[in-house]
Structure 1
Amino acid sequence: MTNALVMAIDAGTGSCRAIIFDTKGDEIGAAQREWTHHSDPAVPSSFDFDTEANGKLIDAVISEALSRAAVRPDQIRAVSTTSMREGIVIYDRQGKEIWACPNIDSRASAEAEALVESGVAAKVFQIAGDWVSITTPARLKWIAAHRPDILSRARHIGLISDWAATRLTGEFWTEPSAGSSTALFDIGQRTWSGELFDVLDIDLSICPPVVESGSQIGKVTAEAAARTGLAQGTPVIAGGGDTQLGLLGLGRRVGDGTLIGGSFWQMTVLLDHPFIDPARGPRTLCHARPGQWMVEGIGFLTGLSLRWFRDAFCDLEKRIADEKGVPVFDLLMDTAASVPPGANGVTAVMANVMQSDSWVQASPTLLGFDFNDPEGHGKAAALRAIMESAAYVSYSHRLELERVTGTRFDAIQFTGGGARGSLWPQIIADVMGLPVSIPQNRETTALGCAMLAAVGGGLFANLDEARAMLSPIERVVEPDAARHEAYKNFHARWHAINDAMVMLADAGVTQPMWKPAGAIRRGGAK
């Protein structure tokens, strides 16, 4: 098994990546490209997923990863795919993509509201564990109303992780972890819900077969091999949703608390039963392991908020980082570390606490600046406030998960881009008041995807054996008791400010960062 390698392809919200792993879980080579999802000016709240341009980017990162690893294509024993959830791709009879959107698309507002008015949205949540805001039911209703030509030509539908594999194999399928994010699954049965399709009057025949993650679903075609540099005939294995595969790559068990810090930040717990919150706060999806489910609270674009600040205000730091040959985020962390907890009174409102049926995101806000103290209330304070806001929304999600599931966490594991460096993990530990463990390999979504590839490719008998690929814990960050007590007050202040800003956005006084389709007003009316 010395030369046995697998590849994970990750189609995330903000970028796509290809990473090659060996059977010890070590990264052998990787490549990444950022991408952007553009809105259609003629369609309010829309975002399109450009399958042609983004497909070329995926081909490029596959080829580049092989080159950087300096390995032969035939050394890649299997490939698997992961992606953002909710985003869908529709194909015609010839298997050609004819419509696609990413997870953040919210064009189907009227259709979602109609589903709320009729009571169907509540039925969807009872069976599928998610609301109709950014899921497939309202989107298909929108297509039926506005693009009937597409619906008449539709013969297949899939998630974006499915699409990435279909481009390699020509086969159509899905698996429960990403598939359940359509809100068309009976999550207890881990497959499409015939009852929901009947209620929604949607043709079930466009939905592909469901296989469990880790199953072989096809092989790399000659055409895909020519595009990517992979060997023709390489097995392609069913992967899954990015968060669930991140939990696989961390080796998380039922009852564990985990914070995954990517473009979105997810606070999660795994359960051995398909719990659905009757108050419709956090949502539930199938896990990639059979017989397990994941309940999560999502911080909307939490990771991208720091990227936005970098691109909008940190040209000087980017130039300095280029000159020194260091990551710009390292400089930003050093800058934020100069500010004490509480960010000198500066507060950032970026992501709202998840309420599945009313998840309005306030207009991004930085407030609390003192013009008489530019040194203490400038860029450094803003950076720290953004980082603290991520911790506050994650802490709120942790408390909510504990409340609704009856779980009690005694530690948190933190992974993803947000776990790099020392400052953000320390802020998370201090706000949570719990030890925070950081895995050595923070590309855990890709690692979980690689573990599935290794199982499906016959390198391990099952996922328990594939735990040999897991990364060891790099360090454990202990909370500071005094800072935790201070952060309780800062968190309460943030919560009050955040709620007020969400109400302003919901009332139309400010422009919300995002207002999901079918959101119910906090006062009880739409």
Structure 2
Amino acid sequence: MTSDGPVYLAIDAGTGSARALAFDDDGTLVARAAREWTHRAVPGFPGGTDFDAGQGWSLIASAIRDVVAQLDGRRVAAVAASSMREGFVLYDGEGSELWACPNTDGRARAEADELVAEGVADEIYRVAGDWVSITAPARLRWIARHAPDVLARTRHLGMLSDWVVTRLTGEFVTDPTCGSSSALFDLRARSWSHDLAAAVGVSDGILPPVVECGLPVGRVTSTAAAATGLAVGTPVMSGGADTQLALHGIAARPGRPTIVAGTFWQTTAVVTEPVIDPSRRLRTLCHVSPDTWMVEGIGFLSGLAMRWFRDVFCGDAVAATRDGGSAFTLMERWAEEVPPGSNGVVAAMANVMQADAWHHAPPAFVGFDINDTAASSRGAFVRSIEEAAAIVAAAHLGILSDLTGGRAVDDGSVTFTGGSSAGALWPRIIAGVCGLDTLVTVAPEATAYGAARLAAAGIGGDLPPMGDTDRRVVATADERAVYTRVVERWHRVYRSVMTVAGPDVPPLFTPPGAARAASVSPSADVFA
């Protein structure tokens, strides 16, 4: 490989940021740019969030231009895109965006409740492997009720990674990994379910063709080239959903689960058949290869909680690292000075996933001592956020083990990848809480690397999987014993905090279609 050879471009439209990354054909990251974004609330609809397609594309195009400039003339051989799941875009007959939402949109509460009452939600879960909480069926009903003119004008539907492809090429397609996050897929067929679409009033005519990951779908248009700096005619391949592409980037295999840790944390297992959780706790989606699927539990905004704490309480850490390094590295140094259990501080953030009744507590810190600033330091709060995320991941690992008869965790280790895996402390906490050796990937860019592998495959290239793990973190017997007590305490505290959720104290998130009230932390004892 020469330093002036071609590269493969990955575009990642994540929950918290848009990124563009370029990789050599030996897998080396050679250029990177990112733009953080937020999603605006929908007035009058609690929990509703819009995706601003115009601004979103401007940020993505800007990141791509930065990468193209860094390449200094090197050719982009092919492009593939990844994105957050569940969010989607509606277009008119001219291909202009009419309506778009991110994965966090929760406005369709009444419509989700209707789908539950009608029994349609049960059928969706049986066929598509996911509940109606933050997926397309309830949202499409909401649009039909509150914006019927939009639905009447709609001629195309695409998931958010599909939207990037459409912006680049003008083509309307989806892939099985992101398409299945719509909850309008037949998992076994790896394509749209016409019965589910009909059940929620969706015309088959707006559903795009399904193209397996890593196959050609179009070329960069002159309009997209002008916006991004890419060459007209650059090949664009079918990409996919962020979590599945992260698993593809590291060549995840059955038997070793993976925690993909970004804005959300997904605790996942690759399986060779579409396993559906009979207790409707976790969800199942299509994986990259045509003969694989993925089961996952979601840590709701586990990574974003750390970003929030950075932005609100750690301005000095941001300032200290402005010329290089990461504020998170400094924050973890504070946390390393605090023992397991965070000196009694408990972070009540995400709850263990229960797809049909996924109630979260109001975000809270419990157990700090205002008379002891040394013990209740910022380091204790940082560590408590990290412990909470690891405890939820551990519960999901227990459920995955239960669903697969132990096969999901049969080698005694878990892979840790994604942005949060860049930390030094988080992997050690995971090892202690989960009781599994924690294998940290060499770089936190697994999702983008998975997209780059698909870009290469589409033109006959073969990017190797991400290299061997950077480190293996093994907790001591004493750490595991301490964390057993920490985990038990966290679940007790979480159950108590759940009791104060209500209209005057809003929870972190209560999804639409939550079929039954939950005052306890689901599956709390599954991985004790």
Q: Which TM-score band applies after superposition, normalised by the shorter structure?
A: over 0.9
Aligned to 1:475: 471
Q: How far apart are the structure 1 equivalents of 2:467 and 2:189? A: 32
Query: 1:67 offset after TM fit, Å?
Result: 1.0
Aligned to 2:265: 265
Q: Contact (CA 8 Å) 1:270, 1:292: kept in 2 or not?
A: yes
Q: How far apart are the structure 2 equivalents of 1:365 and 1:264? A: 18
Structure 1 stretches of 4+ with a deviation exceeding 3 A read: none
Match of 2:417 among 415, 418, 424: 415
Query: 1:509 offset after TM fit, Å?
Result: 6.0
Query: 1:32 offset after TM fit, Å?
Result: 0.3
Q: How far apart are the structure 2 equivalents of 1:121 and 1:503? A: 27
Equivalence map 1:154-233=2 (5 Å): 154-233=154-233
Equivalence map 1:486-525=2 (5 Å): 486-505=482-501, 508=503, 510-522=505-517
Deviates more, 1:38-47 or 1:235-244: 38-47
TM-score by length of 2: 0.95
Query: 1:330 offset after TM fit, Å?
Result: 1.2
Q: Contact (CA 8 Å) 2:248, 2:465: kept in 1 or not?
A: no
Aligned to 1:450: 452
Q: Contact (CA 8 Å) 1:184, 1:193: kept in 2 or not?
A: yes
Q: How far apart are the structure 1 equivalents of 2:399 and 2:474? A: 22
Deviates more, 1:205-214 or 1:377-386: 377-386
The one-letter code of the counterpart of 1:495 is H
For the aligned residue pairs, the C-alpha RMSD in angstroms reads 1.4
Q: Secondary structure at the match of 2:321?
A: helix
TM-score by length of 1: 0.95
Q: Secondary structure at the match of 1:473?
A: coil
Q: Contact (CA 8 Å) 2:140, 2:200: kept in 1 or not?
A: no
Deviates more, 1:266-275 or 1:515-524: 515-524
Q: Contact (CA 8 Å) 2:431, 2:474: kept in 1 or not?
A: yes
Query: 1:359 offset after TM fit, Å?
Result: 1.2
Change (3 A) 1:71 1:426: farther
Q: How far apart are the structure 1 equivalents of 2:497 and 2:318? A: 31
Find out whether 1:42 has 2:17 as its counterpart: no
Query: 1:44 offset after TM fit, Å?
Result: 2.4
Deviates more, 1:510-519 or 1:26-35: 510-519
Aligned to 1:121: 121
The one-letter code of the counterpart of 2:427 is P
The one-letter code of the counterpart of 1:338 is E
Query: 1:59 offset after TM fit, Å?
Result: 0.4
Change (3 A) 1:58 1:523: closer
Query: 1:406 offset after TM fit, Å?
Result: 1.5
Q: Contact (CA 8 Å) 1:26, 1:469: kept in 2 or not?
A: no
Q: How far apart are the structure 2 equivalents of 1:76 and 1:321? A: 32
Q: Contact (CA 8 Å) 1:414, 1:436: kept in 2 or not?
A: yes
Q: Deviations over 1:117-162 (max 9, x none)?
A: 1111111100000000100000000000000000000000000000
Q: Secondary structure at the match of 1:112?
A: helix
Q: How far apart are the structure 1 equivalents of 2:6 and 2:468? A: 21
Find out whether 1:27 has 2:53 as its counterpart: no
Q: Contact (CA 8 Å) 1:8, 1:450: kept in 2 or not?
A: yes
Q: How far apart are the structure 2 equivalents of 1:246 and 1:363? A: 30
Equivalence map 1:80-99=2 (5 Å): 80-99=80-99
Q: Contact (CA 8 Å) 1:44, 1:107: kept in 2 or not?
A: yes
Aligned to 2:431: 429
Aligned to 2:302: 302
Q: Deviations over 1:242-267 (max 9, x none)?
A: 00000000111123210111000010
Aligned to 2:328: 329
Q: How far apart are the structure 2 equivalents of 1:500 and 1:122? A: 30
Q: Deviations over 1:270-290 (max 9, x none)?
A: 000011001100100000111
Identity of aligned residues (%): 48
Change (3 A) 1:253 1:523: closer
Q: Contact (CA 8 Å) 1:24, 1:469: kept in 2 or not?
A: no
Q: How far apart are the structure 2 equivalents of 1:61 and 1:407? A: 42
Q: Contact (CA 8 Å) 2:174, 2:208: kept in 1 or not?
A: yes
The one-letter code of the counterpart of 1:101 is C
Q: Deviations over 1:451-496 (max 9, x none)?
A: 0000002223xxxxx4x24222211111111111110111011112
Q: How far apart are the structure 2 equivalents of 1:346 and 1:523? A: 24
Change (3 A) 1:501 1:509: farther
Find out whether 1:382 has 2:381 as its counterpart: yes
Q: How far apart are the structure 2 equivalents of 1:93 and 1:47? A: 25
Q: How far apart are the structure 1 equivalents of 2:49 and 2:20? A: 24
Q: Contact (CA 8 Å) 1:30, 1:69: kept in 2 or not?
A: no
Query: 1:41 offset after TM fit, Å?
Result: 1.5
Aligned to 1:354: 353
Equivalence map 1:62-101=2 (5 Å): 62-72=64-74, 75-101=75-101
The one-letter code of the counterpart of 2:515 is I
The one-letter code of the counterpart of 1:192 is W
Query: 1:331 offset after TM fit, Å?
Result: 0.9
Change (3 A) 1:69 1:407: farther
Query: 1:503 offset after TM fit, Å?
Result: 4.2
Q: Secondary structure at the match of 1:391?
A: helix
Q: How far apart are the structure 1 equivalents of 2:255 and 2:471? A: 21
Q: Deviations over 1:489-511 (max 9, x none)?
A: 11011112223323432x54631
Q: How far apart are the structure 1 equivalents of 2:142 and 2:475? A: 48
Deviates more, 1:233-242 or 1:477-486: 477-486
Change (3 A) 1:120 1:348: same
Aligned to 1:397: 396
Q: Contact (CA 8 Å) 2:328, 2:423: kept in 1 or not?
A: no
Q: How far apart are the structure 2 equivalents of 1:329 and 1:351? A: 20
